[in-house]
Amino acid sequence: MSIKESLKKEKDIPVKSSKQASFGDLEGIDAQGALERLKVGTKTYAMSLEAFFEDYTDIIDKIKDALNRKNVPEVRQLLHTLSGAAGNIGAVRVEKAASMIGTAIKEGQSNLTPLIGDLEIALNTALKSVNSVMSKIL
């Protein structure tokens, strides 16, 4: 059963400690800021983290593929969607890196490799944090 299914099934899911419940130790993610901004509980936030992990593990490959095909509208859409989702969960570095690539494209920059590399590092950090915390929540 996935974490999302578990969260939907259970009314109150115990967490192992208040530190884990606060999501305070996620590298690359400002979980407390996201929880405060979104005004959601830990169960809803956990579902958001899981959805982010499921939806964005292959986004870098999709962006690179769209760039190789010179499909700029698709690249912009992928970056916009990633930036918004990252912002929602508090993955600030991912959000900023995706936005910087979008700006570079608008400005006509042709060498996006360093920016894509920065995005990939930020995203991998956030995804590793999400993956590691999910096993601690339940």
DSSP letters of 63-99?
A: HHHHHHTT-HHHHHHHHHHHHHHHHHHT-HHHHHHHH
Residue 43 is predicted with a pLDDT of: 86
Task: Measure the CA–CA gap between 138 and 133, rounded to whole angstroms.
Answer: 10
Tell me the domains of the chain and their CATH numbers. Answer: 3-137 (1.20.120)
> Which pair of structure tokens corresponds to residue 80?
């916009």
pLDDT band (50, 70, 90) for residue 6: very low
CA 63 distance to own-chain centroid = 15
Task: Measure the CA–CA gap between 1 and 50, rounded to whole angstroms.
Answer: 13
Least confident of 1-5, 31-35, 124-128: 1-5
Which position has the higher pLDDT, 43 or 80?
Answer: 80
Residue 24 is predicted with a pLDDT of: 62
At which residue do the structure tokens 């918004």 appear?
A: 84
Cβ(22)–Cβ(81) below 8 Å: no
pLDDT at 5 over 60: no
